[in-house]
Copies of this chain bind each other. A is one copy, B any other.
């Protein structure tokens, strides 16, 4: 059990892989001639604490809450590095701002987004890996990551009488 794809470090027990990612990050930074600074460590920690998709701004806010002073610029710069290290990847759910998700060693989650309430549900869709492999092969690409987002109307919004869908009972 706990076996995971290529790079997955089999950590002790229930904690998924907290230490290893730190090492992964450090290694990635070193390879690029960069340093593993306290700020970067703290940001990585904050990222690891996120179980779902998150925004840069939320990270900043939460870190401030818990007394970890980091500047916005550093957050953004570090998120980039985390992407280089393939620890996180961007999920683009709306046009307003980028969201991120932890994806190291596992395949990206799919996201189901309610167009009315913006509720986000994560789901797994393992078949996407095969699909992406096939498509990439067809075009000679080397796959890096992928995103699958479904937009729909959530049950809550569906049963809501007539909030603001824009649909008037005209016809």
The segment from A14-22, A62-70, A150-158 found at the interface with B is A150-158
Residues in B whose Cβ lies below 8 Å from that of A84: 165-166
Take A150-B136, A151-B146 as given contacts and tell me if A114 and B141 are in contact as well, using a CB distance cutoff of 8 Å. yes
Q: How far is the CA of A95 from the CA of B158 in the complex (A)?
A: 30
Instruction: Tell me how many residues of A have a C-beta within 8 Å of chain B.
Output: 48
A126 to chain B minimum Cβ distance, whole angstroms, is 11
Name A's B-contacting residues (CB within 8 A).
31-32, 84, 89-90, 92-95, 97-98, 110, 112, 114-115, 121, 123, 125, 127-128, 131-132, 135-136, 138-155, 158, 165-168, 170
Report the minimal beta-carbon distance from A134 to chain B, rounded to whole angstroms.
Answer: 9
Cβ of A105 to closest chain B Cβ, rounded Å: 17
Residues of B close to A135: CB separation below 8 A:
110, 112, 123, 125, 150
Using A131-B125, A165-B84 as known contacts, say yes or no to A147 and B145 having CB atoms under 8 A apart: no
A150 near B166 with CB under 8 A, answer: no
By the criterion CB–CB under 8 Å, are A150 and B154 in contact? no
Q: Within the assembled complex, what's the spacing in Å between the Cα atoms of A144 and B168?
A: 18
